Copies of this chain bind each other. A is one copy, B any other.
Amino acid sequence: MFQGADILRDVRRKKPLIHHLTNYVTMNDCAAVTANTGALPVMAEAEEEVEEMVASAGAAVINTGTLTPSRARAARAMGRKAREKGIPVILDPVGAGSTAYRTREIEGILAETRPAVIKGNAAEIGLLAGVEGAVISGIQSLGFAGDPLEAARGLRNHLDYDAVIAVTGPEDVITDGKRAARVFNGHSLLPLVVGSGCMSASVIACFAAVEEDRFLAAAAALAYLGLAAERAAEALQGTAFGPLLFKARLIDELFLITPESFAAGAKVEITAL
């Protein structure tokens, strides 16, 4: 049986603090997503306080959109402290492969902070794994010829420690090297929503803050977000809407989903590798 409902129940009971070092574009959305899931968002970014702030967090997100040198330094300091304290870090390597600077900084953050979960689209994960066939334009994946699970395994082999890799897409694919999960929840409008990728990292962080098995936490989180997308589309059916109204509805569906409706709606398949 899939334990997603229990994880969601735990988030709402424990209300973990989720520290974000994230981009300025989708910050407000990520804070709303975290709060609606049931956790407490904080977005401190000064090098002078990120270590102290993350020390009381249940999990942390590092998102490399709108990166600058001072924010990259803060991300590394925050990530090192989290690692030292055993607090899971979720890395969202936004823009990996788009510029030399971004790619270099992401590799530095990755090596120093050893995130518990690395979450990206197939192009980002493929580029970090050094796999062929990944195309990126700015921060947008323009397609990836290969198999997402192979890209995820490629990135794992590339690392010198154990991490969960989550690849978002029409079907989300998650692996910890021993197991693979496929998440079938979602909606075709989701990739058109600015910030949907960032939002998924926030949800994974909420779940990872209360569930030691990060593989399960990541799979459950992506199912929860995908289910919210399905429910949003249903709620808006018969009305004219685009990605922005869909996003607002989706974020509120996160709030409206109960552990029971999550258990009933999650579509996750887990296999041993």
- Check if A139 is an interface residue, CB within 8 A of chain B: yes
Task: Please tell me if A159 contacts chain B, counting CB pairs below 8 Å.
Answer: no
| Interface residues as binary, A25-66 with B (CB distance below 8 Å gives 1, 0 otherwise) | 111110110011000111111101100110011000000011
The docked-state distance in angstroms from the alpha carbon of A46 to that of B69 is 7
Copies of this chain present: 3
Q: Tell me the residues in window 99-124 of chain A with beta carbons closer than 8 Å to chain B beta carbons.
A: 99-102
Partner of A44 from the list B32, B66, B192, B194 (CB cut-off 8 Å) is B66
A248 within 8 Å of B (CB atoms) = yes
Of A148-156, A215-223, A252-260, the stretch lying at the interface with chain B is A252-260
- Scan residues 53-107 of chain A and give those whose CB is less than 8 A from a CB of chain B: 53, 56-57, 65-70, 95, 98-102
Cβ of A145 under 8 Å from chain B: no
Contact B248 A32 (CB under 8 A): no
Docked complex Cα distance between A139 and B20 (Å)? 12
Question: CB of A138 within 8 A of chain B?
Answer: yes
**A69–B53 contact, CB under 8 A?**
no
Stretch at the interface among A1-9, A162-170, A239-247, A263-271: A239-247
Q: Give the interface of A toward B (CB within 8 A).
A: 15, 17, 19, 23-29, 31-32, 35-36, 40-46, 48-49, 52-53, 56-57, 65-70, 95, 98-102, 137-140, 192, 194-195, 235, 240-245, 248-249, 251-256
